[in-house]
Every structure is written in C-alpha cells, then in structure tokens.
A and B are shown apart, each in its own frame.
Chain A
C-alpha cells in the first residue's frame, strides 16, 4: 500500500498529510488533518454530511480521494466562524432551532454558505433543491429553510 504526500490548503492554511491512494478526502480530513466537523453518514454521496468545498465547488468529501486535494483549496465547517464570532448562518441555525442531533448540520451549513455566495437572495424552492443532497432525519427541513432565509436576509442587510 503506497502512501502519497499531499500538499493542500484547508480553510486558508497550508496543510500537508500522507495517505494511501484509496483513502477518501473525508477520512484524511478527519483522521490526518484533525478536522472532524465533516461527518460520514452514508459514504456514498447520498447524505451530504461530509460536504466541503473544493476549489469553490460543493462536493461530498467521501467521493473525493485525499490525493486529489493536492494543490486544491478546501474549505470545511471549521473555517466558517471568524474566531469566536459565529457565521450568520451558524447563529441563525441556533436561534431558530434548525438542528436537533446535529450530525447533518456541518454539511448543511457548508452547503448553505456556498449557495448564498452564489445567490444571496434564494427562494425557498431554490434552497430546497440546493440542499436536496443534505439529508436531515430530525428537523423535517422547514426550520432549516427558515434559518437559511433569515441568515440570507441578515447578510444582504449587512
């Protein structure tokens, strides 16, 4: 089993790790980089709990090899807050009870942030389609959609 050295950027910081070729980016982030915010739900790209961005595009990190991160720009949930100051989406999710168990939450926040960067004023339908690949078995989604809308309004006003 041949290990590969990977130089990448995670949340703006230069990061290096060594991993076997078949290891997913999700496992590399969690077990080698020490960023356990991205979760493994299904491991097959259906649930979105492992969502991160790679070169600006939202991806399931379980469907990316760690070695593919070479030279890439990765962002994860750990890069979302500014120090102790939560991102408006994070604060909105807390304020409006948009989570229960929380396993899906990092992925949903990363996905929602990526949406609002492209479309600062989405409709409910646009949010629902954008987040269709982020499964939540607790909330029933309504509070998630509402929390994203409230954060989006706040960010537009900011």
Chain B
C-alpha cells in the first residue's frame, strides 16, 4: 500500500481518479482503518487529505459556518459559534463512537461511509447542509441529502471527494435537534433516528421545517411530508401526531438483530416528535 499526501485538492482528486477502485481517502480513518483491519477492503493507495488547505478549519461564511472535511467531532463541539447556531448537528456528530473516535471522526467521513444509521447525516440533511466536492474537473456543491444512494453507496463520481460541509446561516428563532434510539446509553449504532430543524414565526408557530430520518431505510431520507405537517402549527398534539404518521409512512426499514420493522417505523415517528419539541424549545430560547 502507498500512502500519499498531496498538497492541493486538485492533486488529490487527480490521484483518486487515476487510482479509482484501489485508492481510498483518509481523513479521520475511523471507518477506513476498521474496514482495512476487517479485510473488507485492501486499498493499494491511501490518500491523506488532512494537510490540504482548510481541512481542519471551521470558517464563518455568509452568516453560517464552513466545516473542513477533517474537523473532528471533538473539535466541532469545542466551537461555541457552531454549538449555538446548530446544536442539533453538533449533538448528532458527538454521538458517534467513543471519546477516542471523537478525536478523529469527521462529518464528511460519516456521510461518505454511506451508512443508513450514520448519526451526523440526518442532522446535516435537516440543517440543509451543502457538501463542497472537489473532483478532477473542478469544484461543485451538492446538498447533503443527494449524497447517500444506498447502504455503503454515495453519489460521488470518480476522483471526487468532499472538502467541506457548509452549515448555512439561519435567522433568530430557529434551532435544531437530533435524537436516536439505541438499546444502551453510549457506544452504539442507531436503531432509528430523527433530525428536525425548524424556524418559528413571531407568534411562535412553525414557519419552516426540515425533518430527516436515519436507520429506517436503505439510505437516510428527508421527509417533506413530515415537515409540512408541522408548518403553520404551534406543535400541538394533533400536528405532532400527523408528523409522526408522515414519518412512519416514509420508513422502509429492515428487520435485524437491532430492531424489527414495526419497532423502527413506530420509533422513528416518536423520535421526530420529541426532536421537534426540543428544536422548538431551543428556538424559543434564542428569540
């Protein structure tokens, strides 16, 4: 195996394209090294992107924050500005793994691993986050919800990799929350999860919302019908029940040792209701 440390993003993209199929991108390595150890993959080349410009930076941009692709969970959690603006994204990212994993894991890696239960991804999708992608032919931006395709599959093409995730600006009276169900309290993978991002109007009703679900289908999904069920309401029980029904209707989970189809469908709706209440409380506290 060769270990490469390109000095520019374009150089990395060209290397990745030239070695498509046998090269892997290394940022935090918390999925890559596990897959190598397990013998799932045997890359001939690992391309480290941590030394590229901006990879370790959290940069204010257009009122939001651009998160470099090598920023770890612990680093994001230490950033007071991001914690205040996007608490749901931070709490989702911080649920991944142990303290040791938090010292290395990245949101871009969590996204590109393509896991249907990836904790940071529903929160990023709910947030309307946009991934910046470098490729051999240049740079493009892509909404995070368009990146997962199926279990372990993403929409990036040959030579492409993510260089940063943009968390957009948001008005006052807006916040987000993420909840997952696991059978223990730490160090586990979501059986079902929900991220909710919402804005409140001056009268306290929901003026806009985004709801995303994890671990209830082959990929993490945005559920517009669930958001529509709460927009214009003050999250009364009827509105929340309607949102939960919409969430459950969007689920297409599998039975496995972690949870049954029926359980996942029901719990996804319950988690979305609770996350919506938390997001609304946070948004109210900010106004």
Contacts and interface: CB of A to CB of B under 8 A. Distances in A.
Consensus secondary structure, chain A interface: mixed
A59 B33 contact: no
B33 to A, nearest CB: 5
B98 A133 contact: yes
A22 interface: yes
Contact of A68 (B1, B38, B48, B72): B48
10 contacts: A4-B3, A22-B46, A57-B103, A60-B98, A60-B100, A65-B46, A67-B3, A129-B186, A131-B99, A134-B98
A130 B103 CA distance: 12
Contacts of A129: 99, 186
Given A45-B100, A111-B99, A63 B34 contact: yes
Contact of A54 (B30, B98, B103, B187): B103
A79 interface: no
Contacts of A67: 3
A9 to B, nearest CB: 17
A21 B37 contact: no
A131 to B, nearest CB: 8
Interface of A: 1-2, 4, 20-22, 24, 43-46, 48, 51, 54, 57-60, 62-65, 67-68, 111, 114-115, 129-134
A146 B36 CA distance: 37
A44 B37 contact: yes
B3 A45 contact: no
A20 B103 CA distance: 24
A62 B186 contact: no
Given A4-B3, A63-B34, A133 B29 contact: no
B3 A63 contact: no
Contacts of A111: 99-100
Given A57-B104, A59-B103, A129-B99, 9 more contacts: A2-B3, A43-B37, A45-B98, A51-B100, A60-B100, A64-B29, A68-B29, A131-B99, A133-B99
A129 B34 CA distance: 22
B101 A45 contact: yes
B181 to A, nearest CB: 17
Contacts of B25: none
